[in-house]
Amino acid sequence: MTSTALIPHRFLARVAAHPEAIAFSTLEGEVWRFDAWGRTAHRVAAALIADGVSAGDRVAILAGNTPLWPIMEMGILLAGAVSVGLYPSAAAVQVEEVVQDAAAVVLVVGHVAQLATVRQVRHQLPSVRRVVAGPAVALADDAMSWESWLARGDAVPFAM
């Protein structure tokens, strides 16, 4: 298999070929074009690398059907890591079991209720080096804000 057959390479080719095309939208009317998705996914990949994520490391996503999910998914793939998906309604014990089993090193949450779930089991997740609160989550002492986390990666030289 050639490297151009890999999902991240096909994604980047699509971003380059059709940057202004609509990639996805929400029921609330939020529209994401391929250029914005590509830029944000690159920032996610760089932030993961700044956090010490290496190829093959696992990154957990606890979020609903929002733009956060495809943005994180593609950023994780661009960084060479593995995505671990959690149902947005997962109970604390389920989050604990999946994240422990996967040995995820970063956990991103998309909603304040999901952050509350993670807080219940955070002490049982020794592999998790960073909890990131997605853009829809207010600032929290025990999770890095989305913008602060992305900014950490801005200093990391990253290219595919």
With a CB cutoff of 8 Å and minimum separation 6, the contacts of 141 are none
**pLDDT(27) > 70:** yes
Query: What average pLDDT score do residues 37-47 get?
Result: 96
Percent of the chain with pLDDT over 70: 94
Q: In the prediction, which pLDDT does 28 show?
A: 92
Q: In the prediction, which pLDDT does 85 show?
A: 97
| Spatial separation of the C-alpha atoms in residues 94 and 18, rounded to whole Å | 39
Instruction: Tell me the per-residue pLDDT of 148-160, one tens digit each, with 9 for 90 and over.
Output: 999 999 888 766 5
Query: What average pLDDT score do residues 135-157 get?
Result: 85
**Residue written as tokens 């149902």?**
87
pLDDT band of 136, cuts 50, 70, 90: confident
Q: In the prediction, which pLDDT does 117 show?
A: 96
Instruction: Tell me the per-residue pLDDT of 70-114, one tens digit each, with 9 for 90 and over.
Output: 999 999 999 999 999 999 999 999 999 999 999 999 999 999 999
pTM of structure: 0.93
* Burial environment of residue 140 by CB neighbours within 10 A (0 to 12, 13 to 18, 19 or more): middle
C-alpha distances in Å from residue 153, one per residue of 5, 41, 46, 51, 158: 27, 11, 4, 8, 9
3-state SS of 68-86 is: HHHHHHHHHHHCCCEEEEE
Q: In the prediction, which pLDDT does 2 show?
A: 56
Q: In the prediction, which pLDDT does 157 show?
A: 76
121: left (phi over 0), alpha (psi -120 to 50) or beta: alpha
| Spatial separation of the C-alpha atoms in residues 34 and 142, rounded to whole Å | 32
pLDDT band of 12, cuts 50, 70, 90: very high
Q: In the prediction, which pLDDT does 141 show?
A: 76
DSSP conformational letter for 52? T
What Rg do the C-alpha atoms of the chain give, in angstroms?
15
For residues 57 and 105, is the Cβ–Cβ distance under 8 A? Answer: yes
